[in-house]
Structure 1
Amino acid sequence: MPISAHSISVSTMLEFIAARGSASFLQTPAWARVKSEWRGERVGFYDGDELTGVGLILYRKLPKLPRYLAYLPEGPVLDWSRDDIAEHFDALVTHVKKRQAFAVRIGPAVVHRIWGTKTIKTAIADDNITSLTEVEPDVVTPEGEHVVSVLKQGGWITDETDQGFAAGQPQFNFQLSLRHEDGTQKSEDELLKGMNQLWRRNIKKAAKFGVEVKLGTRDDLARFHKVYLETAERDGFTGRPLEYFEHMWDVLNAEEEDRMKVFLAEHEGDVVAATTFVTVGEHAWYSYGASTT
Structure 2
Amino acid sequence: MSALLATARCGQQDAWLGPVSAETYRAFLASRTGSALGPGFLQCASWADVKVGWEARLLGWGPQDGAGPGELSGVALVLLRRFPGTRKYFAYLPEGPVADWSDPELDRWLNPLLRHLRAEGAFAVRIGPAPAYRRWNAAGLKMHTGAGRHVSDVLTCEVDPLGAAVAERLRARGWQRCGDDGEDNDAQPRYVFRVPLAGRTTDDLWSGLNQEWRRNIRRAHKSGVEVTVGGAADLPEFYRLLKITEERDGFRLGRSLTYYERQYAALNAEEPGRMKLYLARHQGEILAAHTMVTVGRRIWYQTGASADRRREVRPSHALQWKMMLDAHAQGAEVYDMCGVPSTLDPDVRSFGLLRWKLGTGGHVAETLGEWEKPLSGTTNQTLYRAFQMYMARR
Same structural fold, with TM-score higher than 0.5 when normalized by the shorter chain: yes
Question: Is the Cα–Cα contact under 8 Å of residues 27 and 75 in structure 1 kept in the other structure?
Answer: yes
Map Cα deviations across residues 149-191 of structure 1 (whole Å, 9 max, x no partner).
Answer: 21011110112434434421000111112221xxxxx333321
For residues 92-149 of structure 1, the C-alpha deviation after alignment (integer angstroms, 9 at most, x for no partner) is 111110101000000112111111222222223xx15522122222111122122112
TM-score, scaled relative to structure 1 = 0.92
Instruction: Between the two structures, name the one with larger relative contact order (CA 8 Å, sep ≥ 6).
Output: 2
Q: Is the 8 A contact 1:266 1:272 kept in 2?
A: yes
Write the distance in 1 (CA, Å) between the matches of 2:108 and 2:140.
Answer: 36
Match of 1:12 among 1, 5, 24: 24
Amino acid paired to 1:62? F
Report what 1:256 is aligned to: 271
Aligned partner letter, 1:131 = H
Q: Which amino acid aligns with 2:149?
A: T
Query: 1:123–1:129: 8 Å Cα contact kept in structure 2?
Result: no
| Alpha-carbon distance, 1:289 to partner | 0.7
Distance 1:175 1:277 in 2: 14
Q: Distance in 2 between matches of 1:198 and 1:165?
A: 31
Q: Identify the residue that residue 224 of structure 1 maps to in structure 2.
A: 238
Shift of 1:81: 2.2
- Would the aligned equivalents of 1:210 and 1:267 in 2 still touch at CA under 8 Å? yes
Cα distance in 1 for partners of 2:48, 2:121 equals 19
CA distance in 2, matches of 1:7, 1:142: 32
CA RMSD of aligned residues (A): 1.7
What is the deviation of 1:253? 0.6
1:105 alignment counterpart? 126
2:136 alignment partner, one of 105, 115, 128: 115
Q: What is the CA distance between 1:47 and its match in structure 2?
A: 5.1
Deviation string 1:33-65 (CA, Å, 9 cap, x unpaired) is 110210010111235664111111000001110
Letter in 1 for 2:86: L
Q: For residue 119 of structure 1, what is the amino acid of its counterpart?
A: G
What is residue 113 of structure 2 aligned with on the other side? 92
Preserved CA contact (<8 Å) 2:25 2:58:
yes
Supply the distance in 2 between the matched residues of 1:223 and 1:47 (Cα, whole angstroms): 49
Would the aligned equivalents of 1:2 and 1:47 in 2 still touch at CA under 8 Å? Answer: no
User: Shift of the alpha carbon at 1:214?
Assistant: 1.0
CA distance in 2, matches of 1:187, 1:137: 26
Check conservation: 2:178, 2:184, Cα contact below 8 A. Answer: no
SS at match of 1:179: coil
| 1:176 aligned counterpart, secondary structure | strand
Superposition pairs of residues 167-186 of structure 1, within 5 angstroms: 167-180=186-199, 186=200
Structure 2 residue aligned with 1:265, among 269, 280, 295?
A: 280
Given that 2:274 and 2:295 are in contact with CA atoms closer than 8 Å, whether structure 1 keeps it comes out as: yes
Give, in whole Å, the separation in 1 of the partners of 2:107 and 2:218.
50
Contact 1:232 1:239 in 2 (8 A): no
